[in-house]
C-alpha cells in the first residue's frame, strides 16, 4: 500500500484526489489530510477517511477540528500552525504528497515534500513561479520525483520522451503550446469588462475550480503563471512557450519537435485525469472520468490570446523574461489584487493595473535563497495593498467607467 498525504484536501484538486483514491483502496492508503482553515470540511473528510494525521495552518480552526473529531469519535491526530503542513509533507509513511494548497501559502510545504524525497504531485503552481530554481534543486537533492498536476503541464509531460528530468530541456523539443480556454469573457468587449462581478468571473465555462484560480483564468493570469511554471519544469525559455486559446478544453497542451512532429494530449476537462496519471505513473489506472467522444466534440478551435484586453498575460510574459525575483513579485501582487476583486474592493480591469504598478516600482533582483523570495513576496503584498483604490467601492467606479 502506498501512503498518500493530500495538502489542500478541502479544495477542488484535493476533493478530486480523494475521489481517485477512493476508487483504488487496494493500492493507496490515505495517511494525512491538510488545509489552511476549512475545519468543517476537513472534519467531514476525516470522518470518512480516518487518516492518521490532519493539519490546519490556522490555529483556531485546528481547535475547532479537534472538537469536531472528538465528538465524532475519530482519533486522527490534529496538528496546527504554519509548520503543520510542512510536517505532513515530510511524514515517513506518506510516499506520495499531493501539493494543492492554493497560492504562496503552499510554498513551504511543497519544498518540505521535495526535500524529503517524496513523489511530489504538484498542483501548487505558485511554488514554481515564486521559487522555481529552489524547488527543482530540492527535488534533485531529495531524490524524489516531481509530477505536474496542472492539466497543461501534465499533458506536456505525457507528450515528452521518457526519463525527462525536471528543469532539463527535453531532447528534440522545439517548443510547447499551452492551451487556454479563454475564460468566461473571451468575447466580451473591453468596456464591459469593468462591470464584471466576482460571481461571473468564477463561473468558468469548462472547469470546476476554486475562486482564486477561476479569476486567474478569467484574466488569463493563470496562463501566464503556467508559462513561468513550464519554463522551470521543462528547462525552456519563455520564447519556447506559446499560449493558444482553445475554447473546448479538450486538447490540454501540445509539444512540437524539431522534425515537425506535434504531439497533443486529449481528454475531457476533468482534473481527475492528470491526478490519476501522476498517482499511477508510469502505469495507468481508472480515474472515473468520462471517456472522450470526438464525434460528439465535433470541432476543435484555436486562436491567439487578446493581450490588449487581457494585460495580465503580458505582465507574466515579461516576468518570465526577466526572471529572478520578478515572478514572485508578480504572483504576490496578483494574489492581493484578486482577493480585493473577490471582496468587491477592486474592479476586474483594475487587477492588471495594480499588478503592473507593483512590478514597475519594485526592482526585483536575483533569486539566491528562500529568504529572498519571502522578502520580495512580503514587500510586493504590502505595496499592492497600498495601491488598492480607497473610497468608492468597485461597483461605483465600474458604473462611471
Distance (Å, rounded) from C-alpha 254 to C-alpha 326? 27
Amino acid 348: pLDDT: 94
Neighbours of 67 (CB within 10 A): 13
Amino acid 92: pLDDT: 97
- Would you call the peptide bond into 282 cis, given omega within 30 degrees of 0 as the criterion? yes
CATH T-level assignment (fold) for domain 2-149: Rossmann fold (3.40.50)
Distance (Å, rounded) from C-alpha 235 to C-alpha 232? 5
| Domain limits, the chain | 2-149, 173-400
DSSP state of 303: B
Distance (Å, rounded) from C-alpha 176 to C-alpha 262? 9
Pairing of strands 251-257, 173-180: antiparallel
Helix (H) or strand (E) holding 78: strand 77-80
Distance (Å, rounded) from C-alpha 132 to C-alpha 107? 10
Amino acid 399: pLDDT: 41
Helix residue spans in 208-363 (DSSP H): 211-219, 221-234, 272-280, 294-297, 311-322, 326-342, 350-361
- Would you call the peptide bond into 235 cis, given omega within 30 degrees of 0 as the criterion? no
At 360-392, the pLDDT tens digits run 999 889 999 999 999 999 999 999 999 998 755
Distance (Å, rounded) from C-alpha 401 to C-alpha 396? 9
* Domain range 173-400, CATH class: mainly alpha
Low-confidence ranges of the chain (pLDDT < 50): 396, 399-401
Beta bridge partners of 266: 251
Amino acid 396: pLDDT: 46
Helix residue spans in 362-393 (DSSP H): 370-387
Amino acid at each position: 500500500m502506498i501512503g498518500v498525504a493530500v495538502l489542500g484536501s478541502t479544495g477542488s484538486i484535493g476533493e478530486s484526489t480523494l475521489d481517485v483514491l477512493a476508487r483504488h483502496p487496494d493500492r493507496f492508503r490515505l495517511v494525512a489530510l491538510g488545509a489552511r482553515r476549512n475545519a468543517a470540511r476537513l472534519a467531514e473528510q476525516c470522518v470518512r477517511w480516518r487518516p492518521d494525521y490532519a493539519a490546519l495552518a490556522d490555529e483556531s480552526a485546528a481547535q475547532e477540528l479537534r472538537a469536531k473529531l472528538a465528538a465524532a469519535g475519530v482519533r486522527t491526530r490534529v496538528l496546527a500552525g504554519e509548520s503543520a503542513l510542512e510536517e505532513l509533507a515530510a511524514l515517513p509513511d506518506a510516499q506520495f504528497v499531493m501539493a494543492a494548497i492554493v497560492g504562496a501559502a503552499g510554498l513551504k510545504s511543497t519544498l518540505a515534500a521535495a526535500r524529503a524525497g517524496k513523489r511530489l504531485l504538484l498542483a501548487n503552481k505558485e511554488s514554481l513561479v515564486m521559487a522555481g530554481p529552489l524547488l527543482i534543486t530540492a527535488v534533485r537533492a531529495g531524490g524524489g520525483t516531481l509530477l505536474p498536476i496542472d492539466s497543461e503541464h501534465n499533458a506536456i509531460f505525457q507528450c515528452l520522451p521518457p526519463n525527462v528530468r525536471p528543469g532539463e530541456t527535453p531532447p528534440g523539443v522545439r517548443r510547447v503550446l499551452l492551451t487556454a480556454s479563454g475564460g468566461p469573457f473571451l468575447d466580451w468587449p473591453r468596456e464591459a469588462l469593468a462591470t464584471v462581478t466576482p460571481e461571473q468571473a468564477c463561473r468558468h465555462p469548462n472547469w470546476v475550480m476554486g475562486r482564486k484560480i477561476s479569476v486567474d483564468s478569467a484574466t488569463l493570469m493563470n496562463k501566464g503563471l503556467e508559462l513561468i511554471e513550464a519554463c522551470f519544469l521543462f528547462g525552456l525559455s519563455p520564447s519556447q512557450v506559446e499560449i493558444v486559446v482553445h475554447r473546448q478544453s479538450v486538447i490540454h497542451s501540445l509539444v512540437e519537435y524539431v522534425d515537425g512532429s506535434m504531439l497533443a494530449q486529449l481528454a475531457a476537462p476533468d482534473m481527475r485525469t492528470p491526478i490519476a496519471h501522476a498517482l499511477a505513473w508510469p502505469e495507468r489506472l481508472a480515474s472515473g472520468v468520462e471517456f472522450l467522444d470526438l464525434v460528439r466534440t465535433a470541432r476543435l478551435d484555436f486562436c491567439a490570446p487578446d493581450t490588449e484586453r487581457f494585460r495580465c498575460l503580458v505582465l507574466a510574459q515579461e516576468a518570465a523574461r526577466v526572471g529572478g525575483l520578478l515572478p514572485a513579485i508578480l504572483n504576490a501582487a496578483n494574489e492581493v489584487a484578486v482577493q480585493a476583486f473577490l471582496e468587491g474592493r477592486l474592479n476586474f480591469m483594475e487587477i492588471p493595473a495594480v499588478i503592473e504598478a507593483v512590478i514597475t516600482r519594485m526592482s526585483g533582483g536575483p533569486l539566491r535563497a528562500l529568504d529572498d523570495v519571502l522578502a520580495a513576496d512580503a514587500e510586493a503584498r504590502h505595496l499592492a495593498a497600498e495601491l488598492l483604490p480607497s473610497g468608492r467601492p468597485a461597483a461605483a467606479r465600474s458604473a462611471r467607467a
